[in-house]
Amino acid sequence: MNTHDALLAIYTFYDDFTADFPVACRSGCNTCCTTNVMATSLEMDYMVKWARPFTDPGISDRILSCLKGSVYRPSSTINQSASRCLAGREPVYEHSMHGLGACPLLNRDGLCSVYPYRPFACRAMSSESSCQEAGSALMQSFLVTVNLAIYQIIEHVDKEGEYGNMLDFLIARMKTSGNEETSRYILRNQELPGFIIPPDELPRFKSFMRRFIRVPVGDLKLGDYLPQSPRIIS
Ligand code: SF4
- 184-220 pLDDT, tens per residue? 899 999 999 999 999 999 999 999 999 999 999 999 9
User: Mutation test of ligand 1: which of 27, 43, 122, 125 has the most ligand atoms closer than 8 Å to its C-beta?
Assistant: 122
Judged by DSSP in three states, 162 sits in strand
Stretch among 4-18, 25-39, 121-135, 184-198 having the lowest mean pLDDT: 121-135
11-20, Cβ contacts within 8 angstroms, sequence gap of 24 or more: 11/120, 11/123, 13/211, 13/212, 13/215, 13/222, 14/120, 14/123, 14/150, 15/123, 17/146, 17/208, 17/211, 18/126, 18/143
Name the residue at shortest CA distance from atom 1 of ligand 1: 118
- Asked if residue 177 has pLDDT above 60, the reply is no
From the CA of 114, give the closest atom in ligand 1: 2
Name the residue at shortest CA distance from atom 5 of ligand 1: 33
pTM above 0.85, yes or no: yes
From the CA of 106, give the closest atom in ligand 1: 7
Residues with CB under 6 Å of ligand 1 are 30, 33, 37, 103, 105-106, 112, 114, 118, 122
Share of the chain above pLDDT 70, in %: 97
Name the residue at shortest CA distance from atom 2 of ligand 1: 112
Nearest residue to 209 via CA among 185, 191, 227: 227
The total of other beta-carbon atoms located within 10 Å of residue 135's CB is 7
Pairing mode of beta strands 195-196, 220-221: unpaired
Question: How many Å lie between the centroid of ligand 1 and the Cα of residue 234?
Answer: 33
- Give the model's confidence band at 182: pLDDT under 50 very low, under 70 low, under 90 confident, else very high: low
Residue 40 and residue 48: Cα distance in Å, rounded?
A: 12
Express each pLDDT in 62-116 by its tens digit.
999 998 888 999 999 999 999 999 999 988 888 888 888 899 999 999 999 999 9
Helix (H) or strand (E) holding 173: helix 166-173
Torsion angle of the four alpha carbons 41, 45, 46, 50, in this order, in degrees rounded to the nearest 10: 160
- Give the model's confidence band at 137: pLDDT under 50 very low, under 70 low, under 90 confident, else very high: confident
Residue 216 CA neighbour count, 13 Å, CB half? 2
pLDDT at residue 118 in the model: 97
Question: How many Å lie between the centroid of ligand 1 and the Cα of residue 112?
Answer: 5
